[in-house]
Amino acid sequence: MTSAITRGPIQVDGEVFSNKRAGAYQHLTLVADGIAERTRPGNFVALAVGGATSANLLRRSFSIYRVRPAGVYGGTVEIVFAAHGAGTQWLADRQPHDAINVVGPLGRPFALPKEPVACALVGGGYGSAPLFALAEKLRERSCAVHMVLGASTESRLFGALEARRAAQSVTVTTLDGSVGIKGLVTDPLPALMARHSIEVVYSCGPMGMLAAATRVATDQGAWSQTAVEEAMACGIGVCMTCVLPVVGDDGVTRMLRSCVEGPVFAGDKVRWDAVGTIPAGTFGAPEVSRQ
């Protein structure tokens, strides 16, 4: 039972506990009371960057890698990210005890199977981060967990070692062949699914990867759960920027907010080919103009 106190997002001033390199990525641990108790795998946090007078107003959203409830240091929340712009670079430069404002946990978590079925967890780059907490939850339900981690090159893999503890089998792919199988993360997926009778495919990473993972899952009659990455301004559902076309149970396509109606969607409901457009027939789409 979830009590009223531990539901929904909160806003807290977090404090950097540690901020370390992890291959090509940055692994940030924040002391942020109250987040851990509310978090479920697939949730994300939105961090303010640059301080109170920052010229970078928009929060940066990150999947939650791991949480620890309050102990000696207070509750912590961990994220993994790549420093590729002004905001993420600011985050990468934070030192222990620096303050970072946190809003979270946000978004819908991964749906968990009711039966102890075999699951494949597919992560691209640092997209693997939220899959470890998911693996733990699945194991608690006696689900077999098989992880497939892929990246462009070895330094961009995240958690390959940890995956050995988290999963029954681990498959690694890199585009350049620097480690594991050379190719895309979804290349070994069909054989893996057949071998282990996978019934659910969870994936997190770039849009193209999620589309491919969904295609493989659907071809083999498995469920797919995808955690999407859409550009967000607010993360809390008020700005309407992070929408993508998703088909409802009624067969109608709607532009849904990935921050509150996602970031986890059933993969077969997302119109991957139409992301970035308003496909014809979408609920509320403008009528084709009469020439």
Q: Quick one: 194 or 239, whose CB is closer to other proteins?
A: 239
Here's the x/- map for other proteins, 66-105, by CB under 8 A: it reads as -----------------------------------x-x--
Question: What's the token pair of residue 112?
Answer: 């968990």
Contacts with other proteins: how many residues (CB under 8 A)?
A: 38
* Site membership for other proteins, residue 218 (CB under 8 A): no
- Tell the residue number behind the tokens 């139409």, with chain if given: 274
* Site membership for other proteins, residue 109 (CB under 8 A): no
Q: Quick one: 106 or 119, whose CB is closer to other proteins?
A: 106
Positions 13 through 72 that interact with other proteins (CB under 8 A): 48, 54-59
Helix axes 189-196, 207-219, angle to 10 degrees: 40
* Site membership for other proteins, residue 5 (CB under 8 A): no
Q: Quick one: 80 or 236, whose CB is closer to other proteins?
A: 236
- The CA-atom distances, in angstroms, between 195 and each of 164, 189, 223, 257 are 18, 10, 17, 36
- Tell the residue number behind the tokens 């981690």, with chain if given: 149
Here's the x/- map for other proteins, 269-288, by CB under 8 A: it reads as ------xxxx---xxxxx--
- Residue from 83, 117, 233, 266 that binds other proteins (CB under 8 A)? 233
Q: Which residues bind other proteins (CB under 8 A)?
A: 8-11, 48, 54-59, 101, 103, 230-231, 233-234, 236-244, 254-255, 260, 275-278, 282-286
